[in-house]
Structure 1
Amino acid sequence: MSVQALASSPAQDAGTALTPSERDRYDANYIALFGDVSENAHRRWEVADRLGRADLVRLIEDLRIKAIHENSLGIKVQQLVQFGQLVALGKKPAAEHHAQAALKAGATVDELLGVVETAFITGGVPAYSLGIEIIAALEPVPAR
C-alpha cells in the first residue's frame, strides 16, 4: 500500500467524539500523575472533538498511558527524567508540572536538585538556573 493510500485512510472512529468513559479513563491518568487534569488537556480534547479528530486524541492519550503508566522506570524516576528533559529544553511551566508530579510520586527535593545538576551537562547554565528557580519555588531557601 502506498504512503498516500495510508495517509488518506481515515480511522474507523475518526469522527466519533470521546465518550464519557474515555474521558474518565484519560482524566484518571492525569489525576494519578498530577492530582488534577490541566485545562490544557481538556482544551485539546474539546477542540479535537469539535474538529472531528477525536481519533488523534485517543492515539495520543493511549500512547501517554503506555509511555508513562506502563513504563519500566516507574512513575517517580520517569517524572524525574521528564523534569530534567524539560529543564534542559527551557520549558518552565511543563518542568514545574513534572517536578510536582515527581514529588507526588515520592521524589525528594534533593533528587530534583540532582536532576537539575545533571541537566546542566546538556542545557548549560540556563537549564541549571531554571531548575534552581523551580526548586526554590517549591522549597524556599533560607537567607544566610
Structure 2
Amino acid sequence: MSAASDPESVERIRQSYIDLTGSVPAAIEARLLLADAAGRQGAVEAIEALRRELIMASPLGRKVGQLVHFGQLLALGRGGPARLHARSARRAGATLAELSGVAELALITAGMPAYGLGVEILTELMDDEPMEERVARAHPVDG
C-alpha cells in the first residue's frame, strides 16, 4: 500500500499543510485524489519528500521561507498561492511591516503589478483580523 491509498500517510500529508497554512489547499486535495485514482502514489511521496526537505527543513526557517514564497509569487503574478503564503507567513510570526516590505521588494523586481497585488493581498489580510488585534498592534501597551 502506498502513501495516497494509506490513510495514515494521507493524513500526515494533510496535517503538514494544516501546520503550515492552517488548512489543506484544494490543489493538494486534488493531487491526493488524482494520485490515488491514477495509481501514482509514489509521485505524491516524492513531491512531499522534496517539500519536507526544501520547505520544512529550510535553513531560512518557516517565517522567512514563507516571506520568500510570498515575494516570488507576487513577482510571478500568482495571486491565489501568494495569498496562501502571506497567511502562512503571518501564522509563522511575520509582521504586516515585513510582508509589506516583501511587496515593496516585489515592485523592484517585477513592477507595479506585483506591488499592487501585494497591497491587495495584505489589505485582505488586515480585513480578516479581528478589530481588537488591529487596535492592540496600533496602540501597544507597555507593561
TM over 0.5: yes
Counting only pairs closer than 5 Å after superposition, residues 20-99 of structure 1 correspond to structure 2 as 20-99=7-86
Q: Counterparts of 2:5 and 2:15 in 1: how far apart (Å)?
A: 15
Q: Counterparts of 1:108 and 1:51 in 2: how far apart (Å)?
A: 42
* Counterpart code for 1:23: V
Q: Which range moved further: 42-51 or 105-114?
A: 42-51
* Sequence identity percentage: 46
Residues 93 and 118 from structure 1, CA distance in 2 versus in 1: closer, same or farther, beyond 3 angstroms? same
How far off its partner does 1:32 sit?
0.9
Q: Counterparts of 1:56 and 1:67 in 2: how far apart (Å)?
A: 16
* Counterpart code for 1:55: G
Q: Counterparts of 1:95 and 1:16 in 2: how far apart (Å)?
A: 28
Q: Counterparts of 2:65 and 2:95 in 1: how far apart (Å)?
A: 14
Query: Which segments of 5 or more consecutive residues in structure 1 lack a partner in the other structure?
Result: 1-12
**From 127, 132, 135, the counterpart of 2:114:** 127
How far off its partner does 1:16 sit?
7.2
Structure whose CA Rg is larger: 1
How far off its partner does 1:39 sit?
2.1
Q: Counterparts of 2:41 and 2:73 in 1: how far apart (Å)?
A: 27
Which SS does the other structure have where 1:63 is aligned?
A: helix
Q: Counterparts of 1:66 and 1:25 in 2: how far apart (Å)?
A: 15
Q: Which range moved further: 74-83 or 33-42?
A: 33-42
Q: Residue in 2 aligned with 1:113?
A: 100
TM-score by length of 2: 0.84
Q: Counterparts of 1:123 and 1:45 in 2: how far apart (Å)?
A: 33
Q: Counterparts of 1:43 and 1:57 in 2: how far apart (Å)?
A: 11
Q: Residue in 1 aligned with 2:89?
A: 102
Q: Runs of 4 or more off by more than 6 Å in structure 1?
A: none
CA distances 1:52-103 after superposition (whole Å, capped 9, x unpaired): 1111111001111111111100000000000000000000000000000000
RMSD: 1.5
Query: Which segments of 5 or more consecutive residues in structure 2 lack a partner in the other structure?
Result: 128-143
The number of residues matched between the two structures is 127
Residues 52 and 118 from structure 1, CA distance in 2 versus in 1: closer, same or farther, beyond 3 angstroms? same
